[in-house]
Amino acid sequence: MSTENHFDYTGSKIGMWLFLFTEIILFGGLFLVYAVYRYTYPHEFHEAGEHLQVSLGFANTLILLTSSLTAALAVSSLQRDRKYASLWYISGTVALAAVFLINKFLEWSSHISAGMYPGAPALLAKGHGENLFYGLYYVMTGLHGVHVLGGAGALSLVYVWILQGKVDKDRYVALENAVLFWHLVDLVWIYLFPLFYLLI
């Protein structure tokens, strides 16, 4: 279909949802690993979880939930042909993504400087369960972080497309899809938060 571009709104959305399914399964694999090890080492996970700061996790949850709200509002604004409101909402979402990542970075740094990183002697000395807990913590929040970056990137790209007029009130499926991806990032965090921070 190189010459004419016939456009299928529902088709692109089906494609996006199918892509989200692969993401669900991808994280699902990690949740499986988590489930097995949490079942095997319930008390060690508990002990290790106490060292994560609930307040930081709570703050990041609020940040992501709010960013999901602004992302959703970006779509409905564009649908109502309020282009600049939509652009503002997108900027807000990306800014919140940045705050989330900075928060995450500070959190990781504090753990690493406390000697809690994979392969660190201090962590290995704590025992198997703790080691696995922190291992999974880094892998799962790390992969989630990569998705935050990806989502922010996708939203920024759509921002440019809106400015260029490629995405507008009649053809907003690109924005809708980027926002769907963003909600998925939020969705994953909704589970990560209690599984890592609320083992108190």
Partner 1 sequence: MESEQHFVVTNKTFISVWAALVALTVITVLVAQAHKGNTSVLVPLVIATTKASLVLWYFMHLKYEKKLFKLMLLVPIITLLVILGLTFLDIWFR
Partner 2 sequence: MESNFYTEPTKYNDLRKWVCSTDHKRIGLLYMASIFIFFLVAMMIGVVMKLKMLSAGTTFISARTYNSLFTVHGVIMIFLFIIPGIPAALGNFILPLQLGAKDVAFPRLNLYSWYFYIAGAVCALTSLFTGGGAPDTGWTFYVPYSVTTGTNVSLAVFGAFLLGMSSTLTGLNFLTTIHRMRAPGMGWFRMPLFIWSLYATGWVQLLATPIIAITLVLVILERLFNVGIFDPSRGGDPILFEHMFWIYSHPAVYIMILPAMGIVSEIIPVFARRTIFGYKAIAFSSLAIALVGYLVWGHHMFTSGMSDTARVIFSLLTFIVAVPSGVKVFNWVASLYKGSSVISAPLIFVMAFIFLFSIGGLTGLFQGALNIDMHIHGTYFIVAHFHYVMFGGTGFAFFAGLHYWYPKIFGRMYNEKIARYACGLMLIGFNVLYFPMFILGWQGMPRRYYDYPAQFQALQRLSSVGSWILVAGILLMFHNLVKSIRKGTPASSNPWGGKTLEWQTTSPPPTENFVEIPVVTSGPYNY
Binding site for partner 2 (CB under 8 A): 1-3, 6, 8, 10-11, 14-15, 18-19, 21-23, 25-30, 32-33, 36-37, 40-41, 118-119, 124, 127-129, 131-132, 135-136, 138-139, 143
Contact of 16 with 177, CB cutoff 8 Å: yes
* Nearest distance from C-beta of residue 110 to partner 1, angstroms: 20
Q: Which does 39 bind (CB under 5 to 8 A by kind): partner 2, partner 1, none?
A: partner 1
Integer Cα distance of 83 and 69 in angstroms: 17
> What tokens appear for 51 in the block?
């060292």
Q: Distance between the two ends of the chain, CA-based, in angstroms?
A: 56
Q: Which is nearer to partner 1, 31 or 108 (CB)?
A: 31
> What tokens appear for 19 in the block?
């892509």
* Nearest distance from C-beta of residue 132 to partner 2, angstroms: 5
Each residue of 85-117: b (16+ CB within 10 Å) or e? Answer: ebbebbebbbebbeebbeebeebbeebeeeebe
What is the DSSP secondary-structure string of 17-35? HHHHHHHHHHHHHHHHHHH
Q: Is 166 in the site for partner 1 (CB under 8 A)?
A: no
- Other CB atoms within a 10 A radius of the CB of residue 173 amount to 18
Q: Which is nearer to partner 1, 91 or 120 (CB)?
A: 91
Which residues, numbered 19-78, are part of the site for partner 1 (CB under 8 A)?
21, 24-25, 28, 31-32, 35-36, 38-40, 42-43, 45-46, 54, 58, 61-62, 65-66, 68-69, 71-73, 76
Based on its alpha-carbon atoms, the radius of gyration of the chain, rounded to whole angstroms, reads: 20
Residues that bind partner 1 (CB under 8 A): 7-10, 13-14, 17-18, 21, 24-25, 28, 31-32, 35-36, 38-40, 42-43, 45-46, 54, 58, 61-62, 65-66, 68-69, 71-73, 76, 79-80, 170-171, 176, 180, 183, 186-187, 190-191, 193-195, 198-200
